[in-house]
Amino acid sequence: MLESMASVQEKNPRVGNKMSKQNIKQVLDIHGKAMKKLVHRKRPLVTGKKEITGMVQDNLESSMSILE
């Protein structure tokens, strides 16, 4: 992820920086909304905090792979 951003910024620093920040913000906004829905919907079924943090971690990893 960082390597691709760095290479974009080297070629065109302003555009690369602006686009990567915008994209990250967009993906994290979408991720945040999805997490609120997921945790809210699943809460009665989840027995412990570990399961929720596991779901959060999985979603973070998937959103990071989208960014790459």
Residue 51 is given by DSSP the state H
* Structure token pair of residue 38: 């997921």
Give the pTM.
0.25
Find where tokens 């065109």 sit. Answer: 12
* Structure token pair of residue 26: 């967009």
pLDDT for 65: 72
Q: What are the extents of the domains in the chain?
A: 2-67
**pLDDT tens by residue, 15-60:** 555 656 777 777 777 777 776 666 655 555 555 555 556 666 777 7
